[in-house]
């Protein structure tokens, strides 16, 4: 079945405060959707709520991947169903090496008894690290510990490549990247484009979208998608900022206000 990801009326709260106020979004395999928006408008909350971060309570709505509601699943089940999130601020885990983490993540998505062999895993990991121009020593470092911003982001893309997900959410994957690292990350994303994979690229700036070309662009404000269009929308936002969108909507404060 062709990948189909549909978010319908999703609402979520943090500590009782409503942040997501009814998100609707429909993506098909092969498509790249971008969500843009000023800070504090709920973009990362959407990513975290979809992935099942315990801090966020989904109070209404569904997010179905091929007709299965992810919101009914535990976090590991969502990952097994094919959802992947590259976080805006990846965690550091001392004592767990990057390669151990990656192999566990791959095996957690496989049936018992069909774990990836060590040799095969190492071959895959080394191949992908080369594509991402990562120093091989990063395999043996503790997960994200002491990684620079750019190294963390590359490592998120490495995880994505090895996990082969159906729906990929990239939350500000471009932040903290210089132009060379940005190009490498974009190459990694573009190499993963396929008919049965959909991408949701969350970004503040249009810059990334010069390298990862979106089919659809959505603007998020006040916990809602308030405007959608094609790539030209991102270009206009880059040139003119967000004020014209606020004027169109008749709002002064784009952030998620107090509930
Ligand atoms: P964006 O990613 O668009 O910058 P966020 O989703 O991170 O926005 O945040 C949206 C709103 O939710 C902000 O007002 C922020 O302060 C609030 N918020 C996000 N995460 C938390 C949290 N863990 N605890 C309390 N408030 C939060
Ligand atoms: Mg954010």
- How do residues 89-101 score in pLDDT, each as one tens digit? 898 999 999 999 9
d(CA 45, ligand 1 centre) in Å: 6
With a 6 Å cutoff on the Cβ, whether 159 touches ligand 1 is no
With a 6 Å cutoff on the Cβ, whether 99 touches ligand 1 is no
pLDDT digits (tens, 9 = 90+) for 121-161: 999 999 999 999 999 999 999 999 999 888 999 999 999 99
Of 201, 256, 258, the residue with max ligand 1 atoms within 8 A of its CB, to mutate for a pocket test, comes to: 256
Residues with CB in 5 Å of ion ligand 2: 43-44, 88
pLDDT digits (tens, 9 = 90+) for 163-173: 999 999 999 99
Among residues 168, 155, 174, the alpha carbon closest in space to that of 88 is found at 174
d(CA 250, ligand 1 centre) in Å: 23
∠ CA 201-202-203, rounded to 5°? 115
pLDDT digits (tens, 9 = 90+) for 73-125: 999 999 999 999 998 889 899 999 999 999 999 998 888 888 999 999 999 99
> Whose Cα sits closest to atom 19 in ligand 1?
45
Of 21, 38, 40, the residue with max ligand 1 atoms within 8 A of its CB, to mutate for a pocket test, comes to: 40
pLDDT at 259: 43
d(CA 37, ligand 2 centre) in Å: 9
Beta bridge partners, 47, equal: none
> Whose Cα sits closest to atom 25 in ligand 1?
14
Of 12, 14, 172, the residue with max ligand 1 atoms within 8 A of its CB, to mutate for a pocket test, comes to: 14
**pTM assigned to the model:** 0.94
Counting ligands in written order, the one closest to the CA of 46 is 1
pLDDT digits (tens, 9 = 90+) for 205-253: 889 999 999 999 999 999 999 999 999 999 999 999 999 999 999 999 9
With a 6 Å cutoff on the Cβ, whether 255 touches ligand 1 is yes
């Amino acid at each position: 079945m062709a990948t189909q990801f549909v978010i319908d009326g999703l609402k979520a709260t943090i500590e009782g405060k409503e942040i997501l106020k009814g998100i609707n979004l429909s993506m098909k395999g092969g498509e790249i959707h971008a969500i843009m928006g000023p800070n504090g408008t709920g973009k990362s909350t959407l990513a975290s709520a979809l992935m099942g971060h315990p801090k966020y309570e989904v109070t209404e709505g569904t997010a179905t991947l091929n007709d299965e509601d992810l919101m009914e699943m535990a976090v590991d089940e969502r990952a097994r169903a094919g959802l992947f999130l590259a976080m805006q601020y990846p965690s550091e885990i001392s004592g767990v090496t990057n390669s151990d983490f990656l192999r566990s993540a791959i095996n957690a998505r496989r049936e018992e008894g069909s774990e990836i062999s060590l040799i095969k895993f190492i071959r895959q990991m080394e191949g992908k690290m080369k594509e991402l121009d990562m120093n091989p020593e990063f395999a043996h470092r503790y997960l994200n510990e002491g990684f620079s911003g750019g190294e963390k982001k590359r490592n998120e893309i490495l995880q994505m490549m090895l996990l082969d997900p159906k729906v990929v959410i990239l939350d500000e994957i471009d932040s903290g990247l210089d132009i060379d690292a940005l190009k490498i990350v974009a190459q990694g994303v573009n190499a993963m484009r396929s008919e049965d994979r959909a991408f949701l690229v969350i970004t503040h700036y249009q810059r990334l979208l010069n390298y990862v070309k979106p089919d659809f662009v959505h603007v998020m404000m006040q916990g809602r998608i308030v405007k959608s269009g094609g790539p030209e929308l991102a270009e206009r936002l880059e040139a003119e900022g967000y004020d014209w969108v606020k004027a169109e909507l008749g709002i002064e404060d784009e952030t998620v206000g107090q509930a």
